[in-house]
Amino acid sequence: MAVEIIMPKMGMAMKEGTVAIWHKKVGDTVKKGELIASIQSEKIEAEIEAPADGTIIDISVSEGIGVPPGAVIGYIGNKNEQVPSQPDPATQATEHQEIAATVEIDKKRKKATNQASNGKIKISPVARKMAEAAGLSIEHIHGTGPQGRITKEDVTEALAQNDAEKGEMKAAAVEASKQLKVEGMRKVIADRMYTSIQHTAQLTLNSKADVTELQALQRKLTSIAEKNHHNKLTITDFIAKAVVLSLQKHEQMNSAYVNEHIQQFANIHLGIAVALENGLVVPVIKHAEQASLLHISQQIKLLAQKAREGTLESEEMAGSTFTISNLGAYGIEHFTPILNPPETGILGVGAIEVRPAFIGENIEKRSYLPLSLTFDHRVLDGAPAAAFLKTVVQLLEEPHALLL
């Protein structure tokens, strides 16, 4: 005689259970106690074991279908046995309430081991998917289902505990960190940079200059300068001279936006940013339009030395009309320098890159210098700013013009 497979009553409040997965199909032979289906209600998941030895001769309730506890969801019998006539599911449920109640699951039972007798962890399919998606190891999740089976509620609880532990770790990290009061030079820099961003319309243009010939000229002139003036010429010195000549040609860049007026300066006071251990200072080469390449080089070195020694006078850091910031020593290429208020422009200099390039029909090794120009769009538009940057590039690529 065929044996009914009953939807169990999983908890006193359960009104309906759903077949999540059938692990067996019609025609499969099963042994009593063998897993044949996974079911779930709103709050609980469980597995149904075969109530007898035999063959699955009918599956009455398909996967995803919900029925009341006590309803017949399938039959086990002999291989060719006929399926009994099936009454209304509600009638079935009423008739089998007592049977369903005998397999009621107490979710509050003591936590059982996750290991079945064969060492395999028992976990519902839904719970397994949740754990895999969250990257949780099921070996460390305590199961509260039958025989220690892990349910979706167990995974949810494990996730909540995991989040709580992460929160505690973050809190501990915050407690372990130290807070530094923003004061002195750092406070001045912070205030000036914030003011610069808040009160200007900044835009940055990027370009590159082929400085292969410039490097050759620099090496040649350096030996002469060291011999006659005890001074080594650097690429920064040539860049500074190129900027000064470009500012003379493009006067709009040598200006400031003050009280809704554009103030163009008659003289060029060139700021050279110097990085210190605790901040940044910008000493100024006054009247740079009157200075030779050698004088600019000497002033850059003198002011940088005084900056590092902390002996710069306040007037040596005031009145700049344009600034150069060089991060090439740090391997940086293009970057976005921030305006030094109230100036209209600042030129960022990156690290020289050596790469092959076509020169006519031939491939040669060339050196390229990245340049980043940030300007105040309230003072001038992109085209004149680009023209200024183009002039700087041309002077660096035709370095003998810097000596005239």
For 350-353, the CB contacts below 8 A with 24+ separation are: 351/327, 352/211, 352/215, 352/235, 352/328, 353/208
pLDDT band at 300 (very low <50, low <70, confident <90, very high): very high
Averaged pLDDT for residues 90-101:
57
- What pLDDT does 14 receive? 75
Contact 300, 240 (CB under 8 A): yes
Q: Which domains does the chain have, with CATH numbers?
A: 1-105 (2.40.50.100), 107-179 (4.10.320.10), 184-403 (3.30.559.10)
DSSP 8-state symbol, 343: B
What percent of the chain is predicted at pLDDT more than 70?
Answer: 88
Q: Say yes or no to pLDDT of 112 above 50.
A: no
Which of the residues 163, 287, 381, 400 is marked catalytic?
381
Tokens of 63: 């996967």
- What pLDDT does 94 receive? 58
- What pLDDT does 176 receive? 63
Averaged pLDDT for residues 111-132:
67
In terms of Cα–Cα distance, which of 403, 378, 390 is closest to 200?
378
Annotation marks residue 377 as catalytic: yes
pTM for this model (two decimals): 0.57
Tokens of 340: 């030094």
Which of the residues 23, 295, 334, 377 is marked catalytic?
377
In terms of Cα–Cα distance, which of 84, 68, 77 is closest to 19?
68
Averaged pLDDT for residues 48-71:
91
Annotation marks residue 287 as catalytic: no
pLDDT tens per residue across span 346-375: 999 999 999 999 988 899 999 999 999 999
Give Cα 372 to chain centroid, integer Å: 25
User: Which residues share a beta bridge with 343?
Assistant: 256
DSSP string, 153-204: HHHHHHHHHHHHHHHHHHHHHHHHS------HHHHHHHHHHHHHHHHS-EEE
pLDDT band at 98 (very low <50, low <70, confident <90, very high): low
Residue-averaged pLDDT of the chain = 87
What percent of the chain is predicted at pLDDT more than 90?
Answer: 54
pLDDT tens per residue across span 141-200: 888 877 788 888 888 888 888 887 777 667 666 666 677 888 777 888 888 899 999 999
Give Cα 167 to chain centroid, integer Å: 20
